[in-house]
Structure 1
Amino acid sequence: MSVRVVLATHNRGKAQEFQELLGREVPGLEIVTYEGPEPVEDGTSFEENALIKARAAASHTGLPALADDSGICVDVMGGAPGIFSALWSGTHGDAQANIRLLLAQLADIRDEDRTAHFTATLALVVPGGEPTLVQGVWPGRIAREPRGEHGHGYDPIFLPDGHDRTAAELTLQEKNAESHRARALAAIVPALRELG
């Protein structure tokens, strides 16, 4: 079996990460990066935004397309930043500013009320078929200050349940064993296997 799936991202590093994680589970799978126009992500949920990206990539390439949308959700903030995680501070992708703002907003919140979770939603769109949506959730809480050098985004302030280290202090192997993205990827494997 040999199946090409376009990942709805221009980020080659992310495509390589998906290839490594999914290639072990789906023999013959080839993940390629998307080279088409960026769709407007105007959905109001992780699911809607993942579907927008996957549908655009499938339509442009004619290939099955996989897209993810993810973020951090803080319970006391009603699930925010949520779909706005990457631009919480107003500048898309400024992780340090996003972290500073979120910590400032939670400064007066007691440790036991700082529960949060990372969410990753994956959409698989096959031209002419019904889309598949899966979700992975990684529960934890927000630390008082950033710690750790690994990971990206909010990892330095996220303390996963069962750990006294932040996600940025975990090894890549530890993170890949239990992260929200790892859980979502495991859930999409059966649908990818059916493509063969």
Structure 2
Amino acid sequence: MNYKLIYITGNDIKFNVALKVFGNTQIDLVQNKLETPEIQSKSVEEIAKFSAKWASKKLNQPVIVTDAGFYIEELKGFPGPFIKYVNEWFSVEDYINLMRDKTNRTIIIKDCLAYCYPEEEPIVFTGEYKGRIAQKPGNKKGSPIEQIFIPEGYDNTISGIPEEEMLSYWSYGDIMTKFKDYILNK
């Protein structure tokens, strides 16, 4: 018997990663691009939990919601979970200028998945990806952060890595795999 699970995301890449992780399982993932209220918090966990609880109540079905923050160590964790908004205001050059003369170019992506049944508290899974900020922009596609984020183990920015390769990279992340193990053993 298959189990239907709704993934609340407008990001097709995130959804395709989830499809790849859940391939050959009894889980039927369905993408729903429902806009959820996003609370203001420095914690990606709190944001994801709030959104999952809200969406599961609204749809009266179990859902998963993911949220991520980009934490630049030299900038004391800026922009963190506010990356979506900062990318609307900052250009690639703005990020490059902020990092001018900075020696620590480490950036950590904190990733969170919240799974929630209606009227229950969300269950949270977290993980991290590490990388560094490029000295100059990569390809001119994607968001500003995608044009300057070089994942650990790579020499190119996200925007310069083929999409299939990036799908594989994101697919090996902790949160979706942890969640898959949880839901299949439940």
CA contact 2:57–2:119 (8 Å) conserved in 1: no
What one-letter code is carried by the residue in structure 2 that aligns with 1:179?
Answer: W
Q: Is 1:101 matched up with 2:100?
A: no
Deviations 1:74-126 (A, max 9, x none): 011111110111112xxxx527x34332221111213xx11112222111112
In the alignment, which residue of structure 2 is the partner of 1:160?
151
Amino acid at match of 1:185: M
TM-score, length of structure 1 as denominator length: 0.80
Structure 1 outlier segments of 4+, above 4 Å: 149-153
Distance 1:180 1:99 in 2: 26
Matching of residues 31-70 of structure 1 within 5 Å: 31-35=30-34, 38-70=36-68
Aligned partners of 1:120 and 1:181 also within 8 Å? no
Gaps of 5+ in 2: none
Seen in structure 2, the aligned counterparts of structure 1 residues 27 and 189 have a Cα distance that, compared at 3 Å, is: same
Instruction: Name the counterpart of 2:129.
Output: 138
| Structure 1 gap segments, 5+ residues each | none
Answer whether contact 1:87 1:98 (CA < 8 A) is retained: no
- Determine the C-alpha separation between the residues in 2 that align with 1:180 and 1:152: 20
Which amino acid letter does the alignment assign opposite residue 172 of structure 1?
E
**Secondary structure at 2:41's aligned position in 1?**
coil
Q: In the alignment, what sits opposite 1:17?
A: 16
Q: 1:19 to 1:84 in 2, by over 3 A?
A: closer
Q: Distance in 1 between matches of 2:120 and 2:172?
A: 24
Q: CA RMSD in A?
A: 2.6
State the SS of the aligned residue for 1:189.
helix
Q: Report the alpha carbon displacement of residue 152 of structure 1 after superposing the two structures with TM.
A: 4.2
**Aligned length in residues:** 186
Counterpart for residue 2 of structure 1 = 2
In the TM superposition, residue 189 of structure 1 has moved relative to its aligned partner by: 0.7
The TM-score normalised by the length of structure 2 is: 0.84
Choose which of 70, 81, 86 in structure 1 pairs with 2:79. 81
Q: Which amino acid aligns with 1:63?
A: Q
* Aligned mates of 1:105, 1:81 — CA distance in 2: 11
User: C-alpha displacement at 1:50, in angstroms?
Assistant: 0.4
Between the aligned partners of 1:194 and 1:172, the Cα distance in structure 2 is 31
Alpha-carbon shift at residue 185 of structure 1 (Å) = 1.4
